[in-house]
């Protein structure tokens, strides 16, 4: 049986939607006991499709909450709050992604929680952080992409700004939360000292803007939408081929020479407009893009991919979801895995990215239904659970409407 890197670690997870559940998913996949604490009706992402056919459970929710135990608590009741405090006493992590001010109102802020467990590592994921002028604002991915500059950089110059497709602010801030948590855990292992970890989606998007930041701070240039073109590398773009599109990235002068010789156009190497990467960037839109498009348009996706593969030039076809899921790479990397849902049976979830040689992750259980593990986690008898449900302190799938 494989060793579990985070076995023995206990996480109290009050997060909802995406960034927090994505972060705590890593801990659950690597063996930590993650107890997901939801409000009585379940957290908001349970209403986001697609939905499993038999149970009606959200597979969006299911992807990011696998391997976790699920309980439900009404934190606005004195009894529910005390039951949460009892869980905190021997926990390693307390995780939440409320907007600023909410945790203090609920009496679950860092100062309160560390009074119960002084060594706790408290992770807060939010839209704007806990100490900013707009920390009180609610936030979703599209808002953070808009306010931190990403929307203004995404899309084509003659069209409206476009959100990056998947929720990149949620996903990457979730990764930052997990990394921050592990750094804090390492520090605690050395010193015994817990701490507060604060990650904001606005900050996350700002950290991903690459040259757009120094372009302004160094040169005073406000970058604008540029389509698929990389303003600092050329050719680095998506080209139309006979049966779709292909991305090609010629990232340096060495690859440019290799590319020109391979496609039988060594004369491009002597063209003064294309001799260096800087010159190619300057002359891309006016000249080089047309050269590249004329060349690429002669081939199918497969033909162009095979040629560039042989030449050692980074290239890939633009694939739809069917093509991605059926690609041998997806299977080889175990990017879709099977888990058994108590009602729906076999369900596919996205796999684990970080492959560990000695302590591999495992996906062993489906995401819990509302209050599925109330009795186990709180040590309740059937009668005690029934009484707490009647009092509105806890709930389960059978006692609430999703």
Parallel, antiparallel or unpaired: strands 244-249 and 315-317:
antiparallel
Given this model, what pLDDT does residue 247 score? 98
The total number of residues shown for the chain amounts to 402
CB 263 within 8 A of CB 242: no
Q: Per-residue pLDDT for 400 more than 90? A: no
* pLDDT beyond 80 at 159: yes
Q: Residue range 170-193: average pLDDT?
A: 98
- Rounded average pLDDT over 316-329: 98
Question: Distance (Å, rounded) from C-alpha 18 to C-alpha 38?
Answer: 14
Q: What is the 8-class DSSP label of residue 156?
A: -
pLDDT tens across 368-383, in order? 999 999 999 999 999 9
Residue 2, pLDDT above cutoff 80: no
Q: Which of 170, 198, 203, 344 is catalytic?
A: 170
Alpha-carbon gap, residue 28 to 111, rounded angstroms: 26
As a whole number, mean pLDDT of residues 150-156 equals 97
What confidence score (pLDDT) does residue 1 get? Answer: 59
Q: What pLDDT shows up at residue 397?
A: 81
Give me the pLDDT at residue 242, please: 98
Please, what is the average pLDDT of the chain? 96
Residue labelled with tokens 């058994």: 340
Q: Tell me the whole-structure pTM to 2 decimals.
A: 0.95
Question: What is the per-residue pLDDT across 216-233, written as a single tens digit (0 to 9) for each?
Answer: 999 999 999 999 999 899
Query: What is the pLDDT, as a whole number, of residue 401?
Result: 44
The string of pLDDT tens digits covering residues 332-367 is 999 999 999 999 999 999 999 999 999 999 999 999
Summarize pLDDT for 68-124 with one digit per residue, the tens.
999 999 999 999 999 999 999 999 999 999 999 999 999 999 999 999 999 999 999
Would residue 29 show up in a list of annotated catalytic residues for this protein?
Answer: no
Neighbours of 100 (CB within 10 A): 20
pLDDT for 57 equals: 96
Please report which confidence band the pLDDT of residue 402 belongs to, taking 50, 70 and 90 as the band edges: very low
pLDDT at 398: 61
Spell out the residues 6+ positions from residue 338 whose beta carbon is closer than 8 angstroms to its own.
Answer: 346, 347, 348, 349
Strand order in the sheet with 93-96: 69-72, 33-38, 10-13, 93-96, 121-126, 196-200
Neighbours of 43 (CB within 10 A): 22
pLDDT at 160 over 60: yes
């Amino acid at each position: 049986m494989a060793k579990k890197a985070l076995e023995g670690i206990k996480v109290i997870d009050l997060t909802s939607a995406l960034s927090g559940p994505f972060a705590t998913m890593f801990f659950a996949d690597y063996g930590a006991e993650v107890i997901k604490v939801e409000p009585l009706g379940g957290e908001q992402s349970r209403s986001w499709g697609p939905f499993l056919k038999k149970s009606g459970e959200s597979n969006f929710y299911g992807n990011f909450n696998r391997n976790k135990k699920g309980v439900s608590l009404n934190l606005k009741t004195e009894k529910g709050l005390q039951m949460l405090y009892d869980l905190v006493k021997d926990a390693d992590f307390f995780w939440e992604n409320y907007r600023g001010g909410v945790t203090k109102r609920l009496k679950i802020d860092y100062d309160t929680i560390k009074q119960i467990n002084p060594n706790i590592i408290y992770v807060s994921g939010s839209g704007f952080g806990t100490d900013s002028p707009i920390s009180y604002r609610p936030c979703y991915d599209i808002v953070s992409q808009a306010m931190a500059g990403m929307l203004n950089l995404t899309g084509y110059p003659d069209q409206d700004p476009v959100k990056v497709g998947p929720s990149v602010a949620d996903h990457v801030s979730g990764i930052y939360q997990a990394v921050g948590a592990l750094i804090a855990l390492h520090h605690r292992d050395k010193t015994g000292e817990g701490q507060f970890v604060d990650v904001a989606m606005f900050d996350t998007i700002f950290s991903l803007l690459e040259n757009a930041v120094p372009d302004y701070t160094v040169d005073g240039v406000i970058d604008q939408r540029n389509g698929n073109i990389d303003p600092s590398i050329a050719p680095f773009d998506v080209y139309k081929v006979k049966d779709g599109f292909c991305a090609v990235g010629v990232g340096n002068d060495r690859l440019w020479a290799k590319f020109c010789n391979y496609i039988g156009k060594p004369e491009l190497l002597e063209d003064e407009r294309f001799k260096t990467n800087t010159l190619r960037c300057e002359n891309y839109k006016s000249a080089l893009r047309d050269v590249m498009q004329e060349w690429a348009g002669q081939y199918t996706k497969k033909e162009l991919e095979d040629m560039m593969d042989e030449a050692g030039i980074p290239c890939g076809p633009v694939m739809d979801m069917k093509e991605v899921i059926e690609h041998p790479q997806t299977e080889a990397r175990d990017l879709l895995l099977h888990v058994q849902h108590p009602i729906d049976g076999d369900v596919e979830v996205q796999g684990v990215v970080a492959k560990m040689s000695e302590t591999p992750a495992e996906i062993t259980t489906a995401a819990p239904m509302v209050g599925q593990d109330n009795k186990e986690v709180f040590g309740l008898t059937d009668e005690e659970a029934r009484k707490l449900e009647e009092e509105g302190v806890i709930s389960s799938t059978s006692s609430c409407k999703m």
